[in-house]
Structure formats: structure tokens, C-alpha cells
Amino acid sequence: MDDDGSQSAAARTAAVVGAGPAGLYALAALLRSEAFDRVDVYEAAPAPYGLVRYGVAPDHPKTRNISRVLAQGLQQRQRVRFLGNVVVGSDLSVDELRAAYDTVIVSTGMLGDRRLGIPGEDLEGSLGASEMVAWYTGHPQARQLAFPDDLRSATVIGAGNVALDIARILAKDPATLRTTSMPRHVVDVLAASTLTDVHLVARRGPAQAKFTSPELHEMGALEGVDLVVHPDDLVLGPADEEAVANDRHSRVTVDVCREWSERPPAGAGRRIHLHFWRRPVRIEGTDRVTGIELETTRSGDRPTLRLPTELVVRAIGYHGTALEGLPFDEPSGTVPSQDGRVVVDGAVVPGVYVTGWLRRGPTGVIATNRGDANEVVASVVADAPTLPARRSDPEAVDRLLAEREVRVVSWDDWLRLEAHEKAAGDAAGGDPIVVHDLKTVIEVIEAAAG
């Protein structure tokens, strides 16, 4: 400790909670700043990278490869430790971390889904996107899904890329998924499904949809899939015309949808139907989903549409969950903050910061989290010399984890799992195959450690 009571840089420690893009960009910025001697990264999953591993679609390996960049901070072992399979909030509390580290940066993202608030939403066969995505990417906490034997039609609610990902994964030829990172039992369920029709439902029109162009073009090029767009849905009002005239993104989406609506059907085995200007008002069924009612959102327009459907996935946005020890704004699902400094009743909580989706909500692409994390770390670095002198003691947390018998997955453990996944992928002639269940993850790690 320095004479003035503040700590020297060499003694400062930080904990990052959540090893997704935001946490790992924050780690990189902390290391660049040289303001901290040591940074420990806590992660609930037994693997790093957050939604890059357990969100980005398995058939998008180039996007998933950003993990190589994110790994760079974790590889600096003299200053950084990875502690995977540690759930902050149950294995450890935020307060315990605050007691042990000078600075705590929370970047736990958003785990849940927003709800539609309509009857039938809790029926079997009605899911949130996060459940569906966790399943097909192999998240260890995912509920294992089984499709009904009579599955013919699935309905995906939403007009963003997550909705497109889910519609594409459901509709595409499962044989093409056998060279991806998708766990094989998931590919088997998709391959055995009798699904023929996927309906994508958007509350507004094509000019307002948030789909990005590469994803739209990819959908238009899916083999064995016809795209069905009703020309009436593409009639533009004055506000849409203006959007199309002024915004390239709107123009591209409208043009692509027009081209699809004019395509003669090829008689493919599967179809993706795009419904614009519709919102679900009821999910039908007694013990499981059998249909959905879609009301028009354009006045004086068409009657309510009733679709028979056995699966409904709402992809209308992720939503955060509160973490004990931190304030939480329920409507936005975020932790209140100023420049990343966590705020309770207008007062800054010293030494505690938030970044990523938990700070700003579920928006932007992976790279958006880099700017976000850089901003927050600028606050962290500015504050570091002013933090109250405290005896930094990360080993106290190690002792707690040992007492609580938490099986921490270290960076070396992760490298063992990664090598195993790569070998399995190589043997199948494809990408590394995600090991989805925690018991097997630990067995693989322990077998490799010898």
C-alpha cells in the first residue's frame, strides 16, 4: 500500500463475471491499461465465449471464430485466471467478490426471453428463443427438446436475426448440419422431424424488419426450401415508402422479399412463410400447442389468421435476470449504471461496474460490446487510484469454492475440452462438436488430464 493509503497498481486485482464478448473485451482493455496486476474471470458455463459459443448459429462458423480473438486475454496466464463452471449468485455472491477484489466488472448478459403476454404461452410446445438456441448450440443447462411425432408446422415470432437463425435451422436440410458444431443428438432430432412449414411472423412490415442482408440472402438460397411471401404484405404505406427511400437496409429487405414473392414455387419439401403486419393473440391447445391466432396490425385490413402449428418460438428479444447484490431495472432487464459504474438510488457503488447486454440491453452485434467494454474500462481505470484501500485477497474466493466443492473448470481444463471437441469434429470432417452435458464435460477433462 502507498503512503497515501491508496494501493499501488501492482497490488490491484479485478474480477470479471461472465466470459462472453463484453467480459472478454473488458479483460483485454484491463490488460492494456496495466492498471491491474491480476484479473480473474468467472464464468457459469464450463467454457468461455458466452453467446459466441451458445448463441451464434452453428452453421455460421466464421462468426463463431471470433472466439480466437476473445481468447487472447485469457491466454495471458501470468496475469489472468479463468474460473469456469462457477455461477455467481449461487456458488459465490457478488458481495464475496467485492470483498476479495478491488474492482468487479459484471458482464453476465441476458439469459431469459421477453414474453408475449398472451393466452397459451406456457403450453408445452411454446418456447422462448433462448431455450431453443441453448438446446441447438449445446448449452449444458439447456432443456433437451423433443419434437412431437406429428410436427408439421413451426411458428417463429420476431423480425430480427435470432428469428431468422431459428427459422433457418428448423427448415434447412439436417444433413448440412452434420459438419457443424451442433451436438449430434440435436441434429438427430432435427433429422427425424416431420416438419414441412416454418412461419415467420413480424409485427410490422418488411421496411421495419431488423433482419440483416447477409442472413436474408442466405435464407433465400436455402436448398430444398421454398419461400412464401404474400404480395399483400408488401404493399407499402407512405411511411414505408419514406423508409425505403432513405434507408438502404429497408430497401434491401423490401427488394429481397419482393423477389421471393415473385419466385415460382419449386415444389420443395419445406417452406418458410413470411407473414408481415401480424401479431399473435392466442396460442391454441389444451395440453400442448396445436395452433396460433395472428391478428393484423394494419387497421381495416385482413381478418385474423389461424395457423395450425405444433411449435411456437418467440424470438422477440432476450431479457436479463437480477443478480443478488446488484440493482436491477426489471422493465429493461439491465443493471442501472453511469458510464458503466453501477448506480443504486442515484449513488455510484464504488468498484462495481457493468458492461455488455446487461448494461445496455440486447442490441448490437458482437463488436458493439468492444466499444461498450472500452468505455466501461475507461471508467474503471479512472477510478482505480481513488478506490478505498482494501486488502485484495482473491485466494479467499478460492478457499470458498473449495469449501463449497465447486468443480472449477480452469483454462487448462478448457483447452482439454476444446482439443476433444476439435478431434471429434475432425473425425466427422467438420467443425469442433460441442460437448453438451456437464457430466461428460468433466469426464472428458479428467480423462485428458490423466
Ligand X SMILES: Cc1cc2nc3c(=O)[nH]c(=O)nc-3n(C[C@H](O)[C@H](O)[C@H](O)COP(=O)(O)OP(=O)(O)OC[C@H]3O[C@@H](n4cnc5c(N)ncnc54)[C@H](O)[C@@H]3O)c2cc1C
Q: How is residue 414 written as a grid cell?
A: 478448457
Q: Cβ distance 21 to 356 under 8 Å?
A: yes
Site for ligand X, residues 280 to 339, rule: CB under 6 A: 318, 323
| Radius of gyration of the chain, Cα coordinates, nearest whole angstrom | 24
Give start and end residues of each alpha helix (H) in 4-124. 21-33, 51-54, 61-64, 67-74, 94-100
Rounded CA-CA distance 141/87 in Å is 12
Q: Which of 184, 181, 236 is nearest to 207 (CA)?
A: 236
Q: Out of 30, 41, 45, 417, which residue is the one contacting ligand X (CB under 6 A)?
A: 45
Q: Does 13 bind ligand X (CB under 6 A)?
A: no
Q: Out of 6, 11, 33, 63, which residue is the one contacting ligand X (CB under 6 A)?
A: 63
CB of 161 to ligand X, least distance (A): 6
Q: Which of 250, 242, 165 is nearest to 206 (CA)?
A: 250
CB of 91 to ligand X, least distance (A): 8
Residue with grid cell 389468421, as numbered in its chain = 305
Bridge partners, 338 (sequence order)? 341
Q: Cβ distance 16 to 358 under 8 Å?
A: no
CB of 440 to ligand X, least distance (A): 18
Q: Does 128 bind ligand X (CB under 6 A)?
A: no
H/E element holding 210?
Answer: none
Has 357 been labeled as part of a binding site? yes
Site string for ligand X, 383-412 (x = CB under 6 A): ------------------------------
Region of 97-105, 200-208, 334-342, 362-370 interacting with ligand X (CB under 6 A): 362-370
Site string for ligand X, 163-202 (x = CB under 6 A): --x-------------------------------------
Q: Cβ distance 329 to 165 under 8 Å?
A: no
Q: Does 366 bind ligand X (CB under 6 A)?
A: yes
Q: Does 23 bind ligand X (CB under 6 A)?
A: yes
Has 146 been labeled as part of a binding site? no
Q: Cβ distance 163 to 235 under 8 Å?
A: no
Residue at 187: amino acid letter: V
Q: How is residue 277 written as a grid cell?
A: 403486419
Q: Out of 21, 125, 206, 351, which residue is the one contacting ligand X (CB under 6 A)?
A: 21
Q: Which residue is nearest to ligand X (CB)?
A: 20
Q: Does 216 bind ligand X (CB under 6 A)?
A: no
Largest Cα span, the chain: 80
CB-nearer residue toward ligand X: 157 or 294: 157
Q: Does 20 bind ligand X (CB under 6 A)?
A: yes
Q: Per the annotation, where are the binding residues for NADP(+)?
A: 203-204, 215, 364
Which residues of the shown chain bind ligand X in the complex (CB under 6 A)? 17-23, 42-45, 50-51, 55-56, 60, 63, 87-89, 107-109, 133, 162, 165, 318, 323, 356-357, 364-366, 369
